[in-house]
A and B are shown apart, each in its own frame.
Chain A
Amino acid sequence: MAKFRVMFTCLLLVVLMVSGCSSGSSSNDKMKTLTLWYWNRSLDDKLINLIQTQFPGIRINAQKIGGDFKSKLKTTLAAGSGGPDIVAFNDWVTELFPSSDRFYDMYDLGAKDVENDYLDWKWQLGVTPEGKMIALPIDTGPTALFYRADLFEQAGLPSAPEEVHKLMGTWDDYFAGGKKLQDALGNKVKFTDNIGNIYTQINAQSDKIYFDKNENFIGEDPSSSMKTAWDLAVKASQMGLLANASTFSSEWNAAANNGRIASFVGAVWCKEILMQSAPDTAGKWRVARAPGGDGNNGGSFLAIMKTSQHPQEAFDVIKWVQNPENQVTSFKDINLFPSAKKALDSDVMQQKEDFFGGQATGEIFTESARHVKPSYFGTKYANLNGIVGRELSSVAIEGKNPEKAWNDALARVKKELLR
């Protein structure tokens, strides 16, 4: 009896282990199963459900990966197996360029045929310096100036989007307008949110930031926007235009809702955040083209892992999900701002929004999306941005000497590049 129990326990353990490792193989041989990893709201769930009807021979196994998506993807890549066929990337796509051999080059699968359907700058973000196309665009995050029309009016500034853009076409003019607004409204209102956002947005409008395509550091080159962005961000701080509320913190939400922030430059997806965090200001916000030019923040991609058994099918599915019509559907369903040119021309972009006083902000954002400059971010973009951001917040909040902060940032960046 005792022996039987021991045997039984061992058997149970083995069964549990084996069943834990197998990946639910299906009995139907004709169906090809494609596993998809994405995170909540990175793709339209309704469209994913339609894949099966669109491709009768394909069974889609869509898995919403919660928590730290990037870490899980990296763990899977490190393990070398057990990954999905199709995987979503966020704007950290460049971090994966050194491992581009782990993904299919979609140029080999027919991506050239659809290249012209998409915004060129967005498409280029998924192409490695060696010319491999590893990530196909999902959505974009074109930037624009969000501002409080009522506060602008009170301060004697223009409040219509075209006029605002005419007056505040450059960052210097934008800051001058801010000075005027704060002088008129007293100390209660700050013109914009924080120093890091100004720095990030100016770089987002540029085509040369930290690295060239060979991963050489170009931050000290006059063509790079790094120093310009730094100087302008410091200038805004010295003019006292900043509320020093870090982006989308509870502090920021409260400040936006209480009318303490009069404007900020942000991506199209800030609309939803703003609507949720500042409901008391509904109808008072407007959107204009950003000072200094158009830029992009964020936006995701789809890629095919080298471990996939059905790369061609995977590519066909991706191509279909991200075709212009389906991008319009995704925009209607969950506000994914399109990366396909034709989708930008759609009527849904002309819809008026009550939160923005009846303005059709889609007109501004589509224009912005069309004019973003192609840029190469480099694998260490986020690391460098973190270093500079830390020094900038020391300048804005603790009053660190900007000259010293710049030198410290540069020294730290150079140390980082040697790692």
Chain B
Amino acid sequence: MGEPLQKRTHLDPGSSMQLPERKRGLASEIWKHRKEYLAISPFYILFAIFGLFPIVFSMYLSFHKWDGIGEMTFNGLNNYQFMVTDPEFWKAVGNTLLIWVYSTIPMLFFALIVAFLLNATFVRFRTFFRIGYFLPNVTSLVAVAIVFSTLFSNNYGLLNYLFSLFGISPVEWLNKTWGIQLAVSMMVIWRWVGYNAIIYLAGLQSIPTVLYEAAKIDGASGVQSFFRITIPNLRPIILFTVITSTIGGMQIFTESQVLVGNDGGVSGGGLTIVLYLYREAFVNNYFGYGSAVGWGMFILIALFSIFNWRMVQGGGAKDE
């Protein structure tokens, strides 16, 4: 008991007299544990080089005009001003939100169903299905986008071929804003249902079976126990998947780029925020502006995550 107390007084920030001594104390603490610090240093060193530095540098860059080679010139808030007054940026934000809504809601819904089925006792070969549902997630995104582009191709796509069998006139999917957004959303759904289902499955398995048994004894139906036991117990897991899919959904890029190119296709229906960032920075050579868009996106994602958290968590607060 005596030693920690002594330590606290030692590090008391109020006594300025002890400042040099405190510094020496911290340094000697570090020196005393140098082996431990050395052991954990690789992560921090690598993070500082490949994570922290680019983040700080992009902040610096976002106040500059830079074509990637020549001189950087400071231009204050011009990049941010251009961003908020550029209709294409807001179109990209709108597209991203639409694609996020089109993809996330069905995706999480299907994932819950898949997880529920995988957890059910009557399903056989469960491991096989678990692997099967997870496989899309580890498939190369570019390959997926190419396959989907042949599915949704305007005149010669597989979907239009199926339509023609039933006498339905072909739809020029990739020549329409909603068609492009549908195709991108389908890709996201296909790829992420399995991943989220596995997370839900883990959540389902952590719910104690006694709750279900007690409910059964009390005469609850399957549907009732799903909504009264499964959903409330899964709430933290659902919150987690909503936030991760928000972060992922805001960063959709490859799907659009491979499907409809750097401009996001006809009238920019597939122009997402990251695609816009990529185009401005790496195609049009406005690296400072690209960094500003990156920070704009950071703010949007942060706001959105808080909003989601409030939404999902808000319902839960009542129960406690």
Cα distance A383–B285 in the bound complex, in angstroms: 9
Best-surrounded residue of A71, A96, A397 (most CB of chain B within 10 A): A397
Cα distance A251–B173 in the bound complex, in angstroms: 12
16 contacts between A and B (CB under 8 A): A71-B282, A74-B68, A74-B69, A96-B69, A102-B69, A250-B153, A251-B153, A251-B154, A251-B155, A254-B153, A382-B283, A386-B263, A390-B267, A390-B268, A393-B266, A394-B267
Cα distance A403–B181 in the bound complex, in angstroms: 28
The reply to whether A244 and B156 contact each other, CB–CB distance below 8 Å, is no
The reply to whether B156 and A251 contact each other, CB–CB distance below 8 Å, is yes
Task: Flag A206-246 by CB within 8 Å of B: 1 or 0 each.
Answer: 00000000000000000000000000000000000000111
Q: Which of A95, A255, A389 contacts B155 (CB 8 A)?
A: A255
The reply to whether A68 and B282 contact each other, CB–CB distance below 8 Å, is yes
Residue of A nearest to B86 (CB): A415
CB distance from B146 to the nearest CB of A (A): 8
Q: Which residues of A contact B262 (CB under 8 A)?
A: 386
Cα distance A113–B316 in the bound complex, in angstroms: 81
The reply to whether A95 and B284 contact each other, CB–CB distance below 8 Å, is no
A77 CB-CB contact with B under 8 Å = yes
Q: Which residues of B contact A6 (CB under 8 A)?
A: 35, 38
* Segment 244-290 of B: residues with Cβ below 8 Å from A: 261-263, 266-268, 279, 282-286, 289
Evaluate whether A397 and B175 lie within 8 angstroms (CB atoms) in the complex, with A99-B70, A255-B155, A419-B286 already known.
yes
CB distance from B176 to the nearest CB of A (A): 8
A56 CB-CB contact with B under 8 Å = no
A54 CB-CB contact with B under 8 Å = no
The reply to whether B150 and A250 contact each other, CB–CB distance below 8 Å, is yes
Q: Which of A77, A260, A382, A383 contacts B69 (CB 8 A)?
A: A77
B82 CB-CB contact with A under 8 Å = yes
* Segment 85-133 of A: residues with Cβ below 8 Å from B: 95-96, 98-99, 102
Chain B residues packing against A (C-beta within 8 Å)? 35, 38, 65, 67-70, 82, 149-150, 153-156, 174-175, 261-263, 266-268, 279, 282-286, 289
A81 CB-CB contact with B under 8 Å = no
Q: Which of B35, B156, B261, B263 contacts A258 (CB 8 A)?
A: B156
Inter-chain pairs besides A6-B35, A397-B266, 16 sampled, C-beta below 8 Å: A2-B35, A78-B68, A78-B69, A102-B69, A251-B155, A251-B156, A255-B155, A386-B263, A386-B279, A386-B284, A390-B267, A394-B267, A398-B267, A400-B267, A419-B82, A419-B289
Please classify the interface of chain A as helix (H, G, I), strand (E, B), loop, or mixed, using the class held by over half of its residues. helix
CB distance from B69 to the nearest CB of A (A): 4
Q: Which residues of A contact B175 (CB under 8 A)?
A: 244, 397-398
Cα distance A258–B150 in the bound complex, in angstroms: 16
The reply to whether A250 and B149 contact each other, CB–CB distance below 8 Å, is yes
- Interface size class on chain A is 20 to 34
CB distance from B297 to the nearest CB of A (A): 20
CB distance from B248 to the nearest CB of A (A): 23
Task: Flag A390-405 by CB within 8 Å of B: 1 or 0 each.
Answer: 1001100110100000
Cα distance A382–B285 in the bound complex, in angstroms: 10
Residue of A nearest to B263 (CB): A390
Q: Which residues of A contact B35 (CB under 8 A)?
A: 2, 6
The reply to whether B156 and A254 contact each other, CB–CB distance below 8 Å, is yes
Cα distance A120–B305 in the bound complex, in angstroms: 59
Q: Which of B154, B174, B285 contacts A95 (CB 8 A)?
A: B285
Cα distance A258–B156 in the bound complex, in angstroms: 10
Q: Which residues of A contact B150 (CB under 8 A)?
A: 250
Q: Which residues of A contact B282 (CB under 8 A)?
A: 68, 71
CB distance from B173 to the nearest CB of A (A): 11
Cα distance A74–B285 in the bound complex, in angstroms: 10
Q: Which residues of A contact B82 (CB under 8 A)?
A: 419
Q: Which residues of B contact A386 (CB under 8 A)?
A: 262-263, 279, 283-284
CB distance from B179 to the nearest CB of A (A): 11
CB distance from B111 to the nearest CB of A (A): 31
Residue of B nearest to A243 (CB): B155
Cα distance A102–B68 in the bound complex, in angstroms: 13
Residue of A nearest to B149 (CB): A250
Residue of A nearest to B177 (CB): A398
Q: Which residues of B contact A71 (CB under 8 A)?
A: 282
Q: Which residues of B contact A245 (CB under 8 A)?
A: 154-155
Evaluate whether A389 and B69 lie within 8 angstroms (CB atoms) in the complex, with A71-B282, A95-B285, A251-B153 already known.
no
Cα distance A102–B70 in the bound complex, in angstroms: 10
Q: Which residues of B contact A68 (CB under 8 A)?
A: 282
The reply to whether B67 and A98 contact each other, CB–CB distance below 8 Å, is yes
Task: Flag A63-83 by CB within 8 Å of B: 1 or 0 each.
Answer: 000001001001101100000
Residue of A nearest to B282 (CB): A71
Cα distance A260–B283 in the bound complex, in angstroms: 32
Residue of A nearest to B261 (CB): A246
Q: Which residues of A contact B154 (CB under 8 A)?
A: 244-245, 251
The reply to whether A398 and B286 contact each other, CB–CB distance below 8 Å, is no
Residue of B nearest to A398 (CB): B267
Cα distance A362–B113 in the bound complex, in angstroms: 62
Q: Which residues of B contact A98 (CB under 8 A)?
A: 67, 69-70
Cα distance A71–B68 in the bound complex, in angstroms: 9
Cα distance A99–B175 in the bound complex, in angstroms: 39
The 5 closest A-B pairs by CB, nearest first: A254-B156, A74-B68, A77-B69, A99-B69, A383-B284
Q: Which residues of B contact A390 (CB under 8 A)?
A: 263, 267-268
Q: Which residues of B contact A95 (CB under 8 A)?
A: 285
Cα distance A258–B155 in the bound complex, in angstroms: 11
Q: Which residues of A contact B267 (CB under 8 A)?
A: 390, 393-394, 397-398, 400
